[in-house]
Chains A and B, each alone.
Chain A
Amino acid sequence: EAEVAQSPRYKITEKSQAVAFWCDPISGHATLYWYRQILGQGPELLVQFQDESVVDDSQLPKDRFSAERLKGVDSTLKIQPAELGDSAMYLCASSLWDGGTGSYNEQFFGPGTRLTVL
């Protein structure tokens, strides 16, 4: 069964350092999402890609966060510099493209990367 892959699974870093997370979506899924899940809360969308283009990054803290999906396949989310408040689970999800209708296509989630900032 096809799955969304994420690495690393766990990351511990010190504040002010740079960190990067990688996501490989299910083959053929044109839409890719990065979510942040703070302990005790539900996931919140950070950024959404359609192929290599950003569709929604309204909740991405652009002063320190960046995301790219250069070839429209795998994606990298970077934080520089990391802050204590960035400690969270970072989830990647992918889905088939809805053809621009805005209708629902099931999002498939990876296992996440748990970030701890000391």
Chain B
Amino acid sequence: AQSVTQLDSHVSVSEGTPVLLRCNYSSSYSPSLFWYVQHPNKGLQLLLKYTSAATLVKGINGFEAEFKKSETSFHLTKPSAHMSDAAEYFCVFGNEKLTFGTGTRLTIIP
């Protein structure tokens, strides 16, 4: 079965420090993977997507993710956290049908 596992339910970082949100996937074929962000009282927004082109994917707001087949991982990173990054982040598997991970809540410490 195809699925994603988000390894941390909650991550806290100080403003200006790097962000790492971890995601592992399980798939019998080359997957399409995405990261979505959900701010309070707002709809889910696509941050970036991997569809078997470049393994390093750049998204909006300075986020990027690297697809590592050997590690079955698709971790989300950002060099320097900003207060506005505080939100819930979802790693997502699929093409037309999306399968969401359980989410990681990112808290930014001033």
Residues in A lying within 8 Å of B, measured CB to CB: 3-4, 31, 40-45, 48, 56, 91, 93, 98, 102-112
Contacts and interface: CB of A to CB of B under 8 A. Distances in A.
B102 A41 contact: yes
Nearest to A42: B100
Interface stretch (B12-20, B38-46, B55-63, B64-72): B38-46
19 contacts: A40-B102, A40-B103, A41-B102, A42-B90, A42-B92, A42-B103, A44-B100, A48-B96, A56-B97, A91-B43, A102-B95, A102-B96, A103-B96, A104-B95, A105-B96, A107-B98, A109-B43, A111-B41, A112-B43
Contact of B46 (A4, A91, A106): A106
Interface string B14-47: 0000000000000000001000000001111110
A107 B43 CA distance: 11
Contacts of A42: 90, 92, 100-103
Q: What is the interface residue range for chain B against chain A?
A: 20 to 34
A109 B39 CA distance: 12
A104 B103 contact: no
B82 interface: no
A15 to B, nearest CB: 26
A104 B96 CA distance: 5
B98 A103 contact: no
What 8 A-B pairs are tightest by C-beta distance, nearest first?
A: A42-B100, A109-B43, A109-B44, A104-B95, A111-B43, A43-B100, A110-B43, A42-B90
Nearest to B41: A111
A98 B96 contact: yes
B49 interface: yes
Contacts of A3: 43
